[in-house]
Homo-oligomer: A and B are copies of this chain.
Amino acid sequence: MRENDFLDWIQRHSSAHPSVPLHIGDDMAAVTLPASATPPTATALLKIDQSLDTIHFDLRQHSAAQAATKAVNRCLSDCAAMACLPAALLISVALPQKNGAPHDNAGLSSGGDETFAQELFLAAQAAAAKFDCPLVGGDTATWPHPLAITVAALGKTPTIGGVARYVTRSDAKPGDTLFVSGQLGGSILGRHLTFTPRIHLAQKILAALGEHLHAMMDLSDGLAQDLPRLCKASNVGAQVLAQNLPIHPDAWTLAEKDHLPAGLHALADGEDYELLFAVDSDHVDKLIHLDDVPLTAIGLITEQKTLHLLDKSHTSHPWPNLGWEHGAT
């Protein structure tokens, strides 16, 4: 299948979308965004994120579809972190080619290459479609090196009176209650491939809290690394109650294997893709019964710009300088 054939195939497999006046196939795609009339302005939210073979997935164990799904969901998790909706995705793929010369664009050499590329594209498209998000652009090349997938996301958000509604990580305030969604730790056992980006949950949290939702981010590198980032961006500190950490059953399973505390896995493991957010403590009641995904208060934002882990007796321990760096699996 030559380059033009693959582009034709992709175009045939791209469905029309009401907010995509110009779909995949031209030099750029065009996507319609909501705007405010006065002043006439719109806000585009943007993200790029790469997923590499042997780092973020491993093709010796995982399929092209699993790799593409994860690559897309990682980017969608950032849309959740901002409490915006994904408006469009772009995907760029450097395909591993065992034989022949490398090619710009998909000079796919064999039936195997072709199936692999198609499986990858369809999985990416399906993952985006779960959030009504069209895949509007792509770039393919083959090279004699491992698979590299890069996804870029355009996020949309209402703009009211010229002010766009999204949630940063930089407005947490002393006294805020710190929450996480879901349960943490042990995602390496499989959840890092199968997680659900918390897009719908983030919308519900924002709708319930409005301006009382002060700061939010997604947990990609683990609470131990990500909370310091939120605190630094907000120029605050935090104290976390160790016993409040929602520990995922996978963290317990992992703890049995490696004899490390499950709580340490919850703190330090990466790729939870859960939400970490800071809420005005006077309004935490609005989060009760919000969703099937549990929301757990794990601590408080402090004026003092340090991070502490409190044990059962409220004895303070230094923040663990851990955090999972995605090693080769």
Given known pairs A47-B28, A55-B103, A137-B46, the reply for A148 and B79 (CB within 8 Å) is no
Quick check: A40 and B37 within 8 Å, CB to CB? yes
A326 at the interface (CB under 8 A from B): yes
Quick check: B82 and A327 within 8 Å, CB to CB? no
Q: Looking at the complex, which one of B28, B40, B139 makes contact with A34 (CB distance below 8 Å)? A: B40
Quick check: B168 and A26 within 8 Å, CB to CB? yes
Given known pairs A26-B168, A169-B27, the reply for A136 and B325 (CB within 8 Å) is no
Quick check: A41 and B32 within 8 Å, CB to CB? yes
* Residues on the B chain within 8 Å of A29, using CB: 45-47
Q: Looking at the complex, which one of B22, B33, B94, B138 makes contact with A52 (CB distance below 8 Å)? A: B94
In this complex, how many residues of chain A approach chain B with their Cβ under 8 Å: the count is 79
Measured between alpha carbons, how far is A141 from B55 in the docked complex, in Å?
Answer: 9
Give A residues with C-beta under 8 Å from B. Answer: 3-4, 21-22, 25-38, 40-50, 52, 54-56, 78-79, 81-82, 84, 87-88, 90-92, 94, 101-105, 107, 136-139, 141, 143, 145-146, 148, 150, 152-155, 164, 166, 168-170, 217-218, 221, 229, 233, 270, 325-328
Copies in the complex: 2
Measured between alpha carbons, how far is A103 from B326 in the docked complex, in Å?
Answer: 6
* Residues on the B chain within 8 Å of A217, using CB: 26-27
Nearest residue in B to A91 (C-beta to C-beta)? B48
Given known pairs A145-B146, A155-B28, A169-B27, the reply for A92 and B41 (CB within 8 Å) is no
